[in-house]
Each structure stands twice: as C-alpha cells, then as structure tokens.
Amino acid sequence: MSITIEQRRQHRLTTIENSLARRHRQEKRFRFAGLAAVVIGLTLVTILFISILMRGVPAFWQSTLYPEIYFDPEVIQLDEKPERASGESQAAFDERYTQWLIQAGMVNWQSLIDRAMEEALGVEVEPRQLRDLRALVASDERFSLRDQFVENPSLLGQTVEVKMLAAADVDVWIKGNIDRSLPDSRQQLSAQTREWADRLYDENVIRNSFSTSLFLNTDSRSSPASAGLAGAFMGSLFMMLIVIVLSVPIGVASAIYLEEFAPKNRLTDLVEININNLAAVPSIVFGLLGASIFIGYLGLPLSAPLVGGLVLTLMTLPTIIIATRASLRSIPPSIRQAALGIGASRVQTVFHHVLPLALPGILTGSILGVAQALGETAPLLLIGMNAFVSNVPATPLDQSAALPVQIYLWQGNELRNFFEARTSAAIIVLLGLMLSLNALAIWLRKKFETRW
C-alpha cells in the first residue's frame, strides 16, 4: 500500500491539468492558423479586386470630342433620301435605296470632321499637317457621321455638336497612361497632335465621357478607341443560354436517375467513376473533343456560339450531376420512407418530396457550374472563338467572340497603353456577370429553402 487513493486522485488531476494546457495550446494554434488562412485569402482577393477596379474603372470613361459639325451641302451632294412611292415594288425601292446609300458612302465625310476640328482649334491646317489633325479622332467616326446623316437627312445645312470618340492614343495621352516626358521618337502621337489634344481638353472640346461604345460596339482593329464588348457579350449570352437549356435538364435528370432509380451494380459504378473523372478533365480537352466532333465530324460552323455552348455543356454536365447527386443524397431517407409508406410510387416520392427539398442545392450547383462555364476560355480557343469578329451575332450559328476570349485577345493587343485598361474593364463586366449569377444562386437558395 505505497500509493493512497488520495495520491492517485492527485496524480490523475495533475496529469489532466498538464495535458489541458497542451490541448489549449493546440486549439489556439489551430484557430490561429485558420484565421490566418482566411485573412491571407481575403487580402489576396481584395488586392485582386482593387487592382482590377483601379485599372478598369477609368476605362469606362473615355476621351470624347464634341466638335461642331457643319453638314455642308457643298460636300454632301446627295439626292433626296428615297421614300417608297405608292405602287412601287419592294425590290425596286430597295434598289433605289441601295444606290442612295452607295452615294452617301462616297461623300467625303472626313473633310467635314477635318473642318470642324480646324474650327475647334482655330487654325488653318496645311495638307502636310492633316495627318496630325486626323490622329485626334477615332478613325471610324466618319462612318458614324455618315450613319447619323443617313438616319436624319434634315441635318443638311445645319451646324450640330456631334459626339465623337477621340483616338485611342489621345485617350492614353490625356489620361496620362503614357509617360509625358518621353522623347518624341517614343511617343505614339506627334508633338503637334499632343499639343492640340491638350488644347482641346483645356477648351472642353475633349471631355471624359461615359463610354457607351464599350457596351454597344464590337471589337475593332482599325479603330481601337471604339472597340467594345457587344459581340463578345452576345456570344457569351448565347452560350450561356445553350448551356443552361442543355446541361441543367440533362444533368439533373441523369443525377436523379443515378441516385434514386438506378440499380447499384458494376455498370452504374463504372458510370459514377467516369462522371467523377470527367469533372476533373482539363477544360481544354473538351475543346479538342468539340473541335473534332462538332466541327470536324458534324460540320458545325467554326467560331459559333452553338459549338461553344455544346462544348461548355459537356464540360458543365459532370459538375451539375455531382452537385445534384450530393444534394439528393442529403435529403434524409425518412422522407422517402414516409412517402413510400403511404403508397407513393418512387417517381411520386422523388418529384413530390425529394426534389423540392433538394432544389436549393441543385440550383446552387447548377448556377455555379454555369458561372464556371461562362468564365471558361481554353476550350473556346480550340473551336475558333478567338477569331476576330466584328459583328454582333444574331443567331447562335453566327461567328462570334466570347467575353473571356475577348479579355484574352485584348490582353495581347499591341496597343498596350490603351488596351490594358480595356482588358480590366472587360474583366469587370465579366466579374459583374458572374457575381450576379452567384447572387441569383444565393437568392434562389434562400427562396426555396425549407425549414425542417
């Protein structure tokens, strides 16, 4: 009897107390590590957002000219805009109208702009300086001037303030996105043009206006200042529609079948393993598949949102199937038993009870899958969606760009000073689209959530 009960109790107490300190330290360490991870993650995301916003937000405002354009009847020597006469056939009218448009196209609109710029600057420009003068205005503004006149021929003989985009280099110069102290040889604009640009800015003829062209125009190479996202946006929209229409019903239906109805055997095991594998396949491989099957074998057009949508559907399907299955699995079996127990068939059980309860999870998974597809670039490169397309696609079969690919293309554009900001602006548009999709997912989740 060397150790008394009291001693033993005391010993146990000190042992536990000693281990307690260790346990508390462990807990503290772990909590700190977790907190640190969160802080690091949040910091990085914040830096990312701030840097994108700092670079991209200014690109939403663009140097814009407001010269007084005189629609000179001597320059615009055009017939009356044709009106369809009574009894005239549509074809005959179209013929006349086309003739008139061709005539309008041959008018020297640039000279009107040149003169307006001279007026604004208060100078007479010699022919050799004309280049410097024209370098101020985005090169395709002469076409928008033509379009304005064709739309409204009553402008003839009037003097009107017209909004025109300044050239990309002028925008860069005025925003200070280029080092102003660089020697002439390394400046994009001539000394004369720079001086004029500064003067027009001081006189408020050049202003920083909200850039509607960023949203309304398509990509442009001849006139970088008017390059916009409209084509890419529509292309992405078409692809999203195709992805949603195809991948959500197919994905949810296959998940329901696999989870609720399929027998558990080797075949379904194989299917399950392969779905999981597919979710891990690099997206560029889906691009290859799309290129060889949809374009090579089925002969669908290159660069079409239809093909892009199909490729992204293939890519999104496994994600949606896995999310839906997880969501179905999380519904307690007691609900299924309750429904089966009063004589509901399996289909009724699934559609009356399981599916409504799993809906929030299914919606969240689907929307996240679609959002992921929206931001996918690699597979689209392989089906030709990185081609330069200057039209807004009217159907999913037209050639088109896509938002992430547009970002990739602008990022590589040689006009770095100008397109760096445009790229960030495009990223902001894409992120905005994604955040709204995610917000929709959260809202749907909250809306359909059932309290137990």
**Which residues would be at the binding site for another protein (CB under 8 A)?**
263-264, 332, 334-345, 348, 352-353, 357, 450-452
**Can you point out the beta strands (E) in 153-303?**
159-161, 164-165, 206-210
Q: What minimum distance in Å lies between the beta carbon of 255 and another protein?
A: 18
Q: What minimum distance in Å lies between the beta carbon of 267 and another protein?
A: 14
- In this complex, which beta carbon is closest to another protein, that of residue 68 or of residue 269? 269
Q: What minimum distance in Å lies between the beta carbon of 363 and another protein?
A: 17
Q: What minimum distance in Å lies between the beta carbon of 323 and another protein?
A: 21
313's tokens: 């559907």
- In this complex, which beta carbon is closest to another protein, that of residue 217 or of residue 349? 349
Cross-sheet strand order for the sheet of 164-165: 164-165, 61-65, 206-210
Q: How many CB atoms lie within 10 A of CB 156?
A: 13
Q: Are the C-beta atoms of 73 and 156 separated by less than 8 Å?
A: yes
What lies within 8 Å, CB to CB, of 70 at 6+ separation is: 112, 115, 116, 158, 159
- In this complex, which beta carbon is closest to another protein, that of residue 96 or of residue 336? 336
What lies within 8 Å, CB to CB, of 76 at 6+ separation is: 107, 112, 149, 156
- In this complex, which beta carbon is closest to another protein, that of residue 145 or of residue 357? 357
> How far is residue 319's CA from residue 251's CA, in Å, rounded to a whole number?
8
Q: Are the C-beta atoms of 311 and 238 separated by less than 8 Å?
A: no
Q: What minimum distance in Å lies between the beta carbon of 448 and another protein?
A: 12
Per the listing, tokens 């679609």 go with 370
Q: What minimum distance in Å lies between the beta carbon of 53 and another protein?
A: 43
Helix (H) or strand (E) holding 191: helix 191-202
- In this complex, which beta carbon is closest to another protein, that of residue 145 or of residue 354? 354
Long-range CB contact pairs, 104-109, < 8 A, 24+: 104/78, 104/146, 104/149, 104/150, 105/146, 107/75, 107/76, 107/77, 107/78, 107/146, 108/75, 109/142, 109/143, 109/145, 109/146, 109/149
- In this complex, which beta carbon is closest to another protein, that of residue 88 or of residue 449? 449
- In this complex, which beta carbon is closest to another protein, that of residue 90 or of residue 450? 450
Q: What minimum distance in Å lies between the beta carbon of 333 and another protein?
A: 8
Helix (H) or strand (E) holding 314: helix 305-329
- In this complex, which beta carbon is closest to another protein, that of residue 91 or of residue 342? 342
- Please report how many Cα atoms fall inside a 13 Å half-sphere around the Cα of residue 432, on the Cβ side: 12
Q: What minimum distance in Å lies between the beta carbon of 446 and another protein?
A: 16
